Structure 1
Amino acid sequence: MDAVDIFFNADVMRRAFPILLRGLGMTLALGVTAIVMGTALGVGIALMRLYAPKPLRLFAVLYTDLMRAMPVLVVLILIYYALPFAGIVLSSFAAAAIALSLVLGAYTAEVMRAGIQAVPKGQFEAAAALGIHFWLAMRKVVLPQAMRIVIPPHASNCVSIIKDTSLASVVAMTDLLKQATDAQALFANPTPLIGAALIYVAILWPLVRLTGWLEQRFQRAYQR
């Protein structure tokens, strides 16, 4: 048996492809869920760190530092395997979504904080002079400007989180990698793993290029 039959077996790929597609659906669902929840959480933590009372600001600092310091896999294992001892049992999808959201939220909070602080303070003063209250000024004036700064690094963080969805296979979630490893065992051939790798590349490579384009586009906009 040559290398092509071992790693690129067309018959095995044909039979395994529907299995991989089911896993891809779970991976995309997990990625989208984590991005939406993590982004919302990160914006809230950033605002808490900047404008909340001191105890809440300290909590925001502690949260962002801990989540950025802990590996995603450790957070996932703690949520899925440790919480049941406290009577909290989560499905593998819920545990993975929460873990990824918590980690992305920490990185998003730091990016959002930097973006908000980069907006000139004169914008707040101008809004106050017009009688616009703080939160309306934040929503209508400050955040739209901060998002121009935030979008490129946040897009890069989102790509990283989509890659990290592969860790969900550790808690037996039927994502793309889990389905590929199961298919590899079923057909006694590594071709499904090669197929999963190619699917990851097909999805993530355009996103990587998109983040590069966003960085260049916004950098040119700042230089004007």
Structure 2
Amino acid sequence: MSDLILSSLPLLFKGLLVTLLLSVASIIGSTLLGLLAAVLRTSNVPVGAQIARVYTELFRGTPVLITLMFIYFGVAYFGYEINLFAAGILGLSIYQGAYISEVFRAGIEAVPKGQWEVSQILGLDKRQAFFSVILPQTRKIVLPPLAGQYLSLIKDTSIVSMIGMSELMHQGQAIVDRIGQPVVIYLLVAALYFAICYPLSRWVQHHNHTRSQLS
């Protein structure tokens, strides 16, 4: 049994590295996209707000696998090429960005409207007020739910194996197909996912506990 574990670890660690890179890139992409959609949703531009609303409702109402399949195979259908890693980042960013946009929107709307008025009194235009006054306050509000959404994104990376990317889950499946022992291998895969997610989960719990004590 120990020989099986030792022989499997190099491939699993290779998949873990891909999962980490995919997670980090998708977290950055989904955060930027989610913030943009949230700004549009809370803006006074009707067209932009409507586009952002359609985007969030569309992707929150469909499975992440459909998004990944549509991007990877849809791009090829139109005569273009996209590699697996780029398709994974794009698919996860678009899908998770729809959820993150709602987190940001709730945070922006939770900032007292008086903050906008104070910013105008200080001579700040809307862009300056948003980035200098509203966004810093929004960040404090959204940090715990945002981290929870990042946890969901990290776990969603396992679905990218369905389009053939050799991330952690795909490497685990390849080992099982070759040597069997699915219980042992998938336990190792689960342990590695746990090693990624547990610190972030503990941080969220600690942050929420600290906030509740301060309030």
Please give the range of the TM-score, normalised by the shorter of the 2 chains.
Answer: over 0.9
Where structure 2 has 5 or more consecutive residues not aligned to the other structure, the ranges are: none
Number of equivalent positions: 214
**Match status 1:24 vs 2:6:** no
The 8 Å contact of residues 149 and 218 in structure 1, kept in 2 or not, is answered as no
Partner in structure 1 of residue 192 of structure 2: 199
Partner in structure 2 of residue 186 of structure 1: 178
* Structure 2 residue identity aligned to 1:132: L
Partner in structure 1 of residue 127 of structure 2: 135
How big is the shift at 1:145?
0.6
Stretches (4+) displaced over 4 A = none
Q: Distance in 2 between matches of 1:162 and 1:49?
A: 26
Partner in structure 1 of residue 145 of structure 2: 153
Give the one of 197, 214, 221 matched to 2:207.
214
Give % identity: 36
The 8 Å contact of residues 148 and 218 in structure 1, kept in 2 or not, is answered as no
Equivalent position SS for 1:70:
coil
Q: Distance in 2 between matches of 1:217 and 1:66?
A: 36
Q: Give the structure-1-normalised TM-score.
A: 0.91
* Structure 2 residue identity aligned to 1:195: L
Aligned counterparts, 1:35-50, within 5 A: 35-50=27-42
How big is the shift at 1:88?
2.8
Q: Distance in 2 between matches of 1:188 and 1:174?
A: 18
Higher relative contact order (CA 8 A, sep 6+): 1
Q: Give the structure-2-normalised TM-score.
A: 0.95
Partner in structure 2 of residue 85 of structure 1: 77
Partner in structure 2 of residue 53 of structure 1: 45
Q: Distance in 1 between matches of 2:198 and 2:121?
A: 47
* Structure 1 residue identity aligned to 2:111: V
How big is the shift at 1:129?
0.6
Where structure 1 has 5 or more consecutive residues not aligned to the other structure, the ranges are: 1-8
How big is the shift at 1:192?
2.5
How big is the shift at 1:52?
4.9
